[in-house]
């Protein structure tokens, strides 16, 4: 039995740089991204396809950008506070809101 061979070219999508979702800073340095940037998501466990569609992913380049993204994202998850059915950066949303409140308190004290 003989085989029939065919050559194929395969395209592959690869990441060559990252852009901060808050300030639009960019880096192509993989080590910088791994060590200094933070990748996280937000989502809720609402009913039906809403929960699947609720996943959003973020890349931020600094603590300041992380805090700003939390401030922008948390209000959209407010209706899920009571049931603890939402998370952002792997934290329950209510915990993340308390963290932001504490940071703001500390900032006012300074």
Domain presence at residue 6: no
pLDDT digits (tens, 9 = 90+) for 44-98: 876 655 566 778 999 999 999 999 999 999 988 877 766 667 899 999 898 999 9
Domain count, the chain: 1
| Domain presence at residue 41 | yes
Question: What is residue 28's predicted lDDT score, i.e. its pLDDT?
Answer: 97
Dihedrals φ, ψ of 43, to 5°? -170, 165
Domain membership of residue 34 (yes or no) is: yes
Distance CA 19, CA 24 (A): 5
In a domain, 12, yes or no: no
> Per the domain annotation, does 8 fall within a domain?
no
Q: Is residue 46 part of a domain?
A: yes
**Residues of the domain holding 79:** 18-109
Q: Is residue 82 part of a domain?
A: yes
């Amino acid at each position: 039995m003989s085989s029939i061979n065919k050559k194929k070219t395969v395209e592959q999508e690869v990441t060559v740089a990252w852009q901060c979702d808050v300030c639009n800073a960019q880096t192509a340095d993989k080590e910088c991204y791994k060590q200094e940037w933070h990748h996280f998501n937000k989502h809720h466990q609402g009913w039906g396809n809403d929960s699947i569609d609720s996943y959003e992913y973020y890349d931020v380049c600094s603590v300041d950008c992380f805090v700003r993204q939390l401030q922008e994202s948390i209000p959209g998850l407010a209706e899920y506070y009571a049931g603890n059915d939402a998370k952002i950066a792997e934290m329950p949303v209510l915990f993340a809101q308390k963290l932001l409140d504490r940071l703001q308190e500390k900032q006012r004290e300074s």
